Structure 1
Amino acid sequence: MLVRALEKAASGQAGVVLVSGDAGVGKTRLVGELAEVARSRGHTVLSGQCAELGEAMPYLPLADALRAAARAPETASSLLEALRARPVLGRLLPDGDVDPADQGGAELAQQQLFGAVLGLLGELSDTEPVLLVFEDLHWADRSTRDLLTFLSRVLQRERVCLVGTYRSDDLPRRHPMRSAIAELLRLPNVIGADLRPLRPTEMAAYLVTLQGGDGARPAADVLDRVIQRAEGNAFYAEELLAAACTGEELPAGLADLLLSRVERLSEIAQRVVRIAAVGGRRVDDDLVREVSGLEAEPYEQALREIVSHQLLVPDGGGYVFRHALLREAVHADLLPGERTRLHAAFAALLAEPGPGRPAHPAAELAYHSLASHDLDGAFTASVEAGRQAERLAAPAEAHEHFDQALSLWDVVTEPERRAGMDRPHLALRTAAAASYSGDARRAVTQLRRLRETLDPAADQTLYAEVSERFAHYLSDSDDDVQAAETARGIIEMLPADTPSPERARALTTYTRTVLFTERHEEIPALAEEAIAIARATGTADAEAGALVNLGLHTEIGGDLARAERLFSEARAAAGRVGDLTVALRAHYHVARAEYDRAELTAAARSADSGVRLAIDSGLAWSVYGIDLRFLQYLVHYTAGDWDRAEALSDSFPIRVGTTAEAQVSAYALFIEVARGSATARERLSWLRPFWGEDSLVAYIARGLAAELAFAEGDEHTALEHVSAVIRAMGPGDAGIIRVAATGLGVHAERALRARAAGDGQAEAAALRAAGDLAERARWAAANIASGPRLWLGFEGRAWLARAEAEWHRARGDDDPKLWRGVVEAFDYGFPYEEARSRLRLAGALLERGRREEAEDEWRLATAEAGRLDAVPLRKALRDLGHRARFGTAERAEAAGPLATLTSREREVLRLVADGDNNREIAAALFISPKTASVHVSNILAKLEVASRTQAAAIAHREGFG
């Protein structure tokens, strides 16, 4: 199963395998064998382990994997080069910290790191497939779990195989990893591999294999006894066999077995093992020696003895326990006082590192301090660990550490001095970390408790600051009513004649919460006040947010030019203060407004700029990062730059597991349906479960599925999709117009056939259905203010014109003037829909005997369909051309095997004939390798050949090399 997953990843189908089983069943051995297979095939292997540190060290397996790979000769060069391009990952390496001032904000840091990890894996996998292993996920910290979930969702076409292992017997019902695994296993690209205990025959074969290749076999009675006692656990069996070979009798329990091996050591060696167990699974050599108090020579002798018994294994500058269970058993066997004293010794060394000793994470110091009951030390280290977690883009861990510090506040001495802040501001920071980790409700709870302890009369500024954040998090939790009331209370409390950052932020939060309520008329005055105060007090974040709020309100009111100016101002203000969230939001609204006004060149520039910002910031998968990528694709699709749009859609997932992924995926259907790509059906099959859950997915996916079915002659399915989409949308939603136009086209064809066959009943039924759709389209256009938009743009008016023309065609009044109007309506810069409208115009002109005009329109549409490689449209035009006996159609059929190729496909074929591979073709034509692959597949299909060699032979035969 694992090798198949590795092979699929190598072919461009990323996958995740979660390997589970009881402790010692063989998970590590299994993935170790897989790693060897991967290395033998030239793959990059990145492998890291989690550790039992109370979820205190974020991204430990990732840091472990990067650190190991950075030292390995076969991976160091390419990895270090990739890390230099992604400083946020470099910070995970030893001594890799950076100035926090270089970061874009704590709330975005995790997304930046996630984006950097995805970019790193994508870059490495471009060269060779990647195997990424995260071991011992039952000890995974929250950020590692979030990273695992993120990668499992977004890895699609990268050549990456992600394997995680966890102990199924170490996941009690309330363990956070249990729910995470349950969610992951619902994803389409995640599979589970549960390692069952070995059967007796399998265990016997395994134990024989352990004896090596010299032919030696354990005695039958020894073998039987080990198999019986191991109960199918490979690790139990291995340890039992090792003990049995020495003639020692050991207790049945694993802990006793492990401890008995430790007890065979000398007293000094046992002491070192106990100290190492307190240090953790992987321990620093210098720290263990200093805690032991031994001189160098006896310490080295003890270590040599331990290593010879394979209890500790050398690992760089330290040692790692051969098995985590061994460390656990030794640590649990310590006397309470002994354990406390050893933890205290580690804490003392970590608190004051000596010369030449690398600094350790504050989380490690906090862990040892708390375990040694040093509450003052644990408090100080927890606050610093929270700060370090923020810099490492680990808000969940930051919240854990800050929250732990808050819980110790009342029992430590001089907490304010130790924390470097007062209790309310530590609580604010804790709430912010909770919100940034996606738990806005916990932030609300935290600040609700804090507000109850504050006296507005004692410190009005602090109360306002806490209350504004409280309102902000309430809004994030979809409680806009209480959020608005809270923000309004701050505004009324703070004097209007005394400008302050708190009042500016409160006004901004309030206008955000009432934007789509009956109080929206208050927005202009309050937003203007917020902007003025923000500028007077230098509160650029509040200024940028208020400008966006005012811009949205202005756009709803119809002043589009002013709205765009406000969005541009917001973008500039956010850029000055480094607020990437507002900056991306402003970039999106600037580009969207330009698109709505049919300024496609400007919209493309703005969308491209916004996407570059999102990618450079590691935020391509943030909310507005995704929205900007959608818009970027849509602009290029509309403008007819389909190769560019198709290259952009390479990052859109096909195998989707969430509504958000389904929305992203659905956009790629615009071109896939228009080009008749086989991928469209695969994508639609993955999107089907989400049709009933999300109206946007239903609108895009089922609307385009209707077009696909109609093009293939399946009118019944097309109308089913149309009806379902209309039911899922509000009556005033402008999207109804496009879907109704598609349905009207189907009913027009039915009415025409019925009329020609003299079937009055079928004609009447088609006209009734068409009339209903036409009325729905007209009502949506006339009552658009009742929907999510308050004005009908260029595209909406063009689709309304198409719906009216199809309605008249259904009634038998296929007036060329109507279709000429549709062509002109789409002439704002939508060449594909303009070409589809010309097809109808050509048919209408032919009906009236205006053959030359019809052929002119047909030629224009044919040229555009060929340029776009719009296969279904090209087929419909070819059918019309043959029926009308247009000369170009007759000549095209006899023009040879290359006649059906588009201009871009001819360029690709020329390079195929030269022997170029897909990557070389992509570089030569400035397209993605995936797009090049699609073009090659289309060429092979059109030429009806099975290989590139055969296609090249045809090209040379036709003089096209």
Structure 2
Amino acid sequence: MLGGVETRSVSPVFVGRAEELETLNEALARAAGGGGSQASDTVGEPQALLLGGEAGVGKTRLVEEFAARAAARGAVVALGGCVEIGADGLPFAPFSTALRALRREMPAELAVAAAGQEEELARLLPELGGTGARRHDEEGMARLFELTARLLERVAADRTVVIALEDLHWADASTRHLLAYLFRTLRTGRLVVLATYRSDDIHRRHPLRPLLAELDRLRTVRRIELARFNRAEVACQIAGIHAAEPDPAQVDAIFQRSDGNAFFVEELAVAAHEGCCTGLTDSLRDLLLVRVEALPESAQRVARIVAEGGSTVEYRLLAAVAGLAEDDLIEALRAAVNANILLAAPTGDGYRFRHSLVREAVGDDLLPGERSRLNRRFAEALEADPALVPADQRVTRLASYWYHANDAAKALPAVLAASVTARRRDAYAEQLRLLERAMELWDAAPEDVRAGLRPVDYTESYPPCGCDPATTPLRYLDLMAEAAVAGRFSGERERAMKIIRRALSILEDEDDPLRAAWFWTQRSRLVQALARGDGRQELVTAQELLRGLPPSEVHAEVLTTVANWSMLHQPGPEALAAAERAVQYARMVGTRETELNARLTLGGLTLDAGDVEEGLAEMYEVKERALQEGYPYVAGRAYVNLPAELESIGRSREAAPILEEGAAYARKYGLLDNEAWVWANLSESLYHLGRWREAEQAALKVFLRGRNAKPQGSGALCLAHLALGRGDVPEAGRQLHAARAAFGTHDPMPQQWLPMATIAVGVAAVEGRILDARAELHAALDAGTPPGTRQYGWPLLLAAATAEADARALPAAAQGRAEALERIRTAVKALATEAPVWLAHERWVHAELHRAEGRATPDTWTPVVTAFEHLDRPYDLARVRHRLAEALLATDATDHRERATELLRLAHAVAGHLGARPLTDAVTFLAQRARLGLTPESERRPRTDPAEALGLTTRERDVLRLVADGRTNRQIAEELFISPKTASVHVSNILAKLGVSGRGEAAAVAHRLGLFRSATLTTRTPG
């Protein structure tokens, strides 16, 4: 409407900023992969920049200049600004605006990048589709953040994209959290993310301050501080504004007056041009008001309305509030735009102040009554016609207007409605703030208003507590419950705990055990999250409150929480009983997701109790049901727990593919902590399967994916096991220290303290500290080895028994050895051996105890070797073969020497492929001492097949021959009359035993060793 009006005070010449612009252009080039925005052979890397500076220093102008140059180089530029409504930031506003711009510029690319996750991503960009009902949890916000990061990486895979977010000082908490997440996790894509903020607004308690401190510690984030102009730059700016060389005296006066602030230079230059330079007031803020006050009264009135309406006010909303005839309104706007006070909004359907400093000056000049009156008029206009503002802003803006109108009756329901919108967008921090505002308004709102509110409309975080949420009035306790959960989900745990304490205090005077039990359950979770305990006593209190009450959703949730807690802390009959009751109650009250969650726990506890196949069948079924019925939380948990249970009974080969599938699933749905647990469990399975290099890579991914410390503790333990196996004792000690720090001391679990004790015993034993090794063992056993912990207990007892055997010759070890060995024997009796792997470990521990007592013979070790020959644990098999060879060589029988030679060669081959230096050294030393050669027999005696030294079975030898000939799995299957899946399994085994990563390397090894004289080195693409 007024787009043709000229603005005189903005210089058409871009002044200064050469160094800052060079930094931005350099970031653009690095993102593009070395020059250019289109796809090239060089892969770009994401760039993160923060641009700070005081108000008016020229941040926006610099961003505009950079954006124009980036666009000229072919980059797609998407701008987004933080929207201030009163004192409220609109959740995710800058990201929504930027994504909307990307959708306009790259519709096809964005659609492809968002495919399959439209419902989740619609929380940022509603145009992608509806945000249906779903489970809210602590992973919700992180899930949205992860999916957003992946979306941006995909969109920027082939073309450079610049995301510029302005006015971060106004950002809501969710926007700040998302930006921090992107800066920490973006790893691929031709992407530049630039955010600006006012440095002079960041006071000591400003919420942006901690984020800036955090980002300063990231090496991937560059921070630019925009300084004021020097005198020469001020002169250039004035010359650009006036289109003429300025008078030096005038430049001196303006430079001194503005102190180089670009915006104030503009204001002073215009004032000088209009002849009022000598009449300036003492305050530059007053200078801004002088220009407003020079407008006609109608234009001043419109300016005051725009100042209170938000960062941008839509034309139709402005017309409704102003109450002017359309011609009069247009004339008032024309006067304000001509005076360069207001500008047409970039979207084209509204008006904003040319600079926020002017808006703040006008807003600060409003009288308190005038401010509340304007907010009331905005609210009334918006209520009368919601279409006056964009759909994704209506509820939040209406809540803000009514709140600042000081009308509790209208503000309470509006604020509650806004809290629901925030929750649906996973903006839990904003939901918490709005709920706290609702609690503030509660007593001021009339009784009839409160009586008309219903829990079903505004709460969903906790189950109905003995009443119908559709007919029962909303209670203050309902708000507290919703706020407590919002605080937990947003990471504001202290605020959530404060709310829960207050709620429990109120409930002391009320007979409402269901609500009290629910709050105690929430408190248990917070106690654990805040590292103030294990949460057990809080759960006991919740259970006591429910005793004797009829079934309810609260029962199902509390019992499921108790069962999950018990599975991790105190597995056994009581935990199993709690899981059974949880499933029963969930079925009775019809909470399907809770039922599946409880059944998953029940399956694991059933397996731990000894019924392996029934427990596994239950867990497999829950995983499939969760996938089919659309419960990502339960499915993600199943991808962690099911393989963990398979690993617990030694079925690593079955666990590994499920974990690989789980990693892809968790990444697709943004289940970060689930993915971290998956990688930790996969690392453990790969370690046992002899795929150590892959195990190390999986463990390292734990640290890249997880937000919480405990998965990282498990990742550190995996790296510690690998370090011990490779002989890097200092690294094992460092990783053990990292694991202890990650797990902490407030919430001990057997799956943590037993593996840590195993590493500690191993490190102490290698360093010759047998007394320390014993102390670690005793401390772990004193803490307990409850049912279901055999996968952690057996390695600990084995490490302790091996330490005692290795220290048999140490004088310091003699005293106390008998007691230590007896303690190990007693602990052995308490551990289950229902799986072949643990039966093999029982024999191994007994063999080490015999060795510690000097009683080991070939008959001691032969059954151990036999047991491990039927398992997929090449490293363990190599270790026990070494021990059997040692026992055989202790005799003088000739046939024993031949058998020992064969065993040592096999052990040496595996140790060499794995990089297990201590085992390699031990085997080499024993062979040298016995004057045995470890050279492959194929080079010494032609009658021996070198494939045997590599541990290959007859079938694997046949498969390797075909692999070396370039056959695919399907071709191998057809020739050997086996299934393609079986052929694939054989190929995986061969790669592990050869210590290679691919079929081509396997063929090369076969050729080098002369295994198959006719083999070629042709590698074909698998069909």
* TM-score w.r.t. length of structure 1: 0.73
Are the equivalent residues in 2 in contact too, given 1:441–1:474 (CA < 8 A)? Answer: no
- State the 1:248 CA deviation: 3.8
8 Å Cα contact 2:801/2:824 also seen in 1:
no
Q: Deviations over 1:462-500 (max 9, x none)?
A: x243123212102102363552343233323x44xx444
CA displacement, residues 366-400 of structure 1 (integer Å, 9 cap, x when unaligned) = 11111122322222211111111111112222222
Quote the residue 1:388 is aligned against.
Answer: 421
Aligned counterparts, 1:439-518, within 5 A: 439=492, 442-450=495-503, 453=506, 463-478=512-527, 480=535, 482-492=537-547, 494-495=548-549, 498-511=550-563
Give 1:190-201 correspondences, 5 Å limit. Answer: 191=221, 193=223, 195=225, 197-198=227-228, 200=230
Q: Which runs of 5+ in 2 are unaligned?
A: 1-22, 34-42, 456-473, 528-532, 745-751, 786-790, 942-958, 967-986, 989-995, 1005-1016
Query: Distance in 1 between the 2:505 and 2:793 partners?
Result: 49
2:688–2:874 contact (8 Å) kept in structure 1: yes
Note if 1:275 corresponds to 2:305. Answer: yes
Instruction: Give the aligned partner of residue 130 of structure 2.
Output: 98
| 2:265 equivalent to 1:229 | no
SS at match of 2:141: helix
Q: 1:534 aligns with which of 573, 586, 594?
A: 586
* 1:504/1:333 CA distance change after superposition, 3 Å: same
* CA shift for structure 1 position 100: 2.8
Q: Counterpart of 1:255?
A: 285
Q: CA 1:425 to 1:163, structure 2 compared with 1: closer, same or farther past 3 Å?
A: same
Query: Is 1:415 matched with 2:470?
Result: no
Correspondence for 1:78 among 85, 109, 130: 109
Does structure 1 residue 340 correspond to structure 2 residue 381?
A: no
Contact 1:129–1:160 (CA under 8 A) maintained in structure 2: yes
Q: CA deviation at 1:221?
A: 2.4
AA of the residue aligned to 1:137: L
**How far apart, in 1, do the equivalents of 2:559 and 2:1018 lie?**
71
Contact 2:564/2:601 (8 A) holds in 1: yes
The equivalent position to 1:693 in structure 2, one of 707, 730, 741, is: 741
**2: CA distance, partners of 1:205 / 1:133:** 25
For residue 418 of structure 2, give the secondary structure of its aligned residue in structure 1: helix
Determine helix, strand or coil for the equivalent of 2:741: coil
Contact 1:736 1:777 in 2 (8 A): no
3-state SS of paired residue (1:829): coil
Tell whether the 8 Å contact from 2:123 to 2:131 is kept in structure 1 after alignment.
no
SS of alignment partner, residue 127 of structure 1: coil
Is 1:123 paired with 2:123? no
Change (3 A) 1:120 1:960: closer
Deviations 1:296-329 (A, max 9, x none): 5554555555555374253124344443323222
Q: Which has the larger radius of gyration?
A: 2
Q: Are residue 288 (structure 1) and residue 318 (structure 2) matched? A: yes
Matched letter for residue 199 of structure 2:
S
Partner of residue 486, structure 2: 433
Conserved in 2, the CA contact under 8 Å of 1:483 and 1:510?
no
Over 3 Å counting, the alpha-carbon distance change for 1:321 and 1:854 in structure 2 is farther
Q: 1:833, 1:652 → 2: CA distance?
A: 25
Deviations 1:891-917 (A, max 9, x none): 9xxxxxxxxxxx99xx99x9xxxxxxx
Structure 2 partner of 1:828: 871
2:404 is aligned to: 371
Match runs of 1:744-783 below 5 Å: 783=827
Structure 1 residues 661 and 169: CA distance shift in structure 2, 3 A: farther
Q: Which amino acid aligns with 1:489?
A: E
Q: 3-state DSSP class of the match of 2:197?
A: strand
The alignment status of 1:634 with 2:684, answered yes or no, reads yes
1:173 to 204, 207, 219: 204
Deviations 1:676-709 (Å, cap 9, x if unpaired)? 99xx9999999798466236999999999999xx
Query: What is the rounded CA distance, in whole Å, between the counterparts of 2:572 and 2:1018 in structure 1?
Result: 68
Percent identity, aligned pairs only, is 31
Say which of 369, 385, 390 aligns to 1:353.
385
| Cα separation, 2, equivalents of 1:30 and 1:450 | 50
Q: Cα distance, 1:419 vs. partner?
A: 3.0
Name the CA shift for 1:541/1:742 in 2 (closer, same or farther; >3 Å): closer
The letter for the 2-side match of 1:639 is: L
SS at match of 2:345: strand
Task: Give, as a single letter, the amino acid of the residue that structure 2 aligns with 1:220.
Answer: P
Distance 1:768 1:223, change over 3 A: farther
> Which residue of the other structure, out of 655, 659, 663, is the alignment partner of 1:607?
659
Distance 1:301 1:482, change over 3 A: same
Shift of the 435–650 alpha-carbon distance from structure 1 to 2, 3 Å rule, reads closer
SS of the residue 1:693 aligns to:
helix
Report the residue type matching 1:490 in the other structure: L
Per-residue CA deviation, residues 246-283 of structure 1 (Å, 9 max, x unaligned), is 55424464433433444455554444333222221133
Structure 1 contact 89–117 (Cα < 8 Å) conserved: yes
Q: 1-side partners of 2:691 and 2:68: how far apart?
A: 45
Q: What residue in structure 1 maps to residue 166 of structure 2?
A: 135
Question: CA 1:777–1:747 in structure 2 vs 1: closer, same or farther (change >3 Å)?
Answer: closer
In 2, Cα distance between equivalents of 1:729 and 1:69: 61
Against the structure 1 CA distance between its residues 468 and 185, is the aligned structure 2 distance closer, same or farther, given a 3 Å change threshold?
farther
- In structure 2, the CA distance between the partners of 1:502 and 1:836, relative to structure 1 (3 Å rule), is closer
1:535-584 per-position Cα deviation (integer Å, ceiling 9, x unaligned): 23323355345445555655555554454455456657867986544443
- Between the aligned partners of 1:773 and 1:237, the Cα distance in structure 2 is 85
Aligned equivalents of 1:46, 1:453: Cα separation in 2: 49
Q: Give the SS at the match of 2:780.
A: coil
Aligned CA distance change for structure 1 residues 481 and 85 (closer, same or farther; 3 Å): closer
Q: Who is 1:110 aligned against?
A: 141
The 1:686–1:860 alpha-carbon spacing in structure 2 relative to 1, beyond 3 Å, is closer
Q: 1:6 to 1:630 in 2, by over 3 A?
A: farther
Out of 149, 154, 178, the position equivalent to 1:147 is 178
| 1:401 paired residue among 434, 445, 450 | 434
Would the aligned equivalents of 1:106 and 1:395 in 2 still touch at CA under 8 Å?
A: no
Q: Equivalent residues in 2 for 1:807-846 (5 A)? A: 821=864, 825=868, 828-831=871-874, 834=877
Q: Which moved more, 1:443-452 or 1:588-597?
A: 443-452
- Per the TM alignment, residue 78 of structure 1 is displaced from its structure 2 partner at its CA by 1.8
Render the CA deviation track for 1:168-188: whole Å, top value 9, x for unaligned.
Answer: 3323333333334444444x4
Structure-2 change in CA distance of 1:36 and 1:92 (3 Å): same
- Consecutive unaligned residues of structure 1, counting only runs of 5 or more, are 752-762, 892-902, 911-924, 927-933, 943-957
Please give the alpha-carbon distance, in whole angstroms, between the structure 2 residues aligned to 1:770 and 1:826: 34
Q: Is the 8 A contact 1:106 1:390 kept in 2?
A: no
2:56–2:264 contact (8 Å) kept in structure 1: yes
The code of the aligned residue for 2:449 comes to P
